[in-house]
Amino acid sequence: MPGLVTVHRFVLPHSGEIAYSARVTTHDDEYASTGQFDSSGYSTSTGNAPTSTLSDTSDEARDSGSRWHGGADLGLLVVRVVVGVIMAGHGAQKLFGWFDGPGIGPTAQGLASMGYTSQTTLLAWVTALTETGGGLLLILGLFTPLGAAAILGVMGNILYLKAKTGFFMGMEMGTGFEYELLIAAVAFALLFTGPGRISIDVNTPWRRKPVGFGFAGLLLAAAASLVVILVFR
């Protein structure tokens, strides 16, 4: 600090007298003194200003999207694959009649019995393709916001239909909406967590910064559900 006086005390040789000298410590002196810590590894000097190596750690922490987190990434993989397999399986039941599924015709008839009165065959195709495609995207971790939005949109329509049946599933098939709510909640969560690093989306913006894309997917799912309710009912 300019103007700071440092007083030095010393003893003259062959004399009992004590002499004092004073000099002004300058701004350059202060920065020069920081060089003694250079070898410690805690600070480095760039020009005349010391720079802490801890800032490098902070920079790395800020880029957390590129860092590996084994537990979280493995957990997201398990959630994606399980939900993706369930939804792709339901879609295959409707599309191809696989896994003892009904196929497109009976699915259209089932939609008519649920109150859908317009273009039920088209809606059956849309539902089957959405479930199959969304499920496969989640399994692969490819375009994850789109896959999660597709699943959330389908679940939104089912929750709308089953809102009056009660929460818990009873002995009677088709009652209660707890299962659909669980799938919807997982799809919603995946919109905002992203797919994790064990995915094809690993180097995409929506994996590193998923929140903005999550809101976009949420709007897409809400719009799709609303269109289905207004157009097909």
Q: Report yes or no on whether pTM surpasses 0.85.
A: no
Residues 114, 123 contacting (CB under 8 angstroms)? no
In whole angstroms, what is the distance from residue 15 CA to residue 57 CA? Answer: 56
Structure tokens, 202? 């690993």
Q: Which residues contact 200 (CB under 8 A, 6 or more apart)?
A: 140, 141, 142
* Closest-CA residue to 25 (of 5, 9, 7): 5
Structure tokens, 59? 């920079």
pLDDT in tens, 140-187: 999 999 999 999 999 999 999 888 888 887 766 567 899 999 999 999
Distances (CA, A) of 117 to 4, 193, 227, 232, 233: 88, 37, 14, 6, 5
pLDDT in tens, 73-118: 999 999 999 999 999 999 999 999 999 999 999 999 999 998 888 8
Q: Can you say how many angstroms the Cα of residue 157 is from the centroid of all Cα atoms in its chain?
A: 24
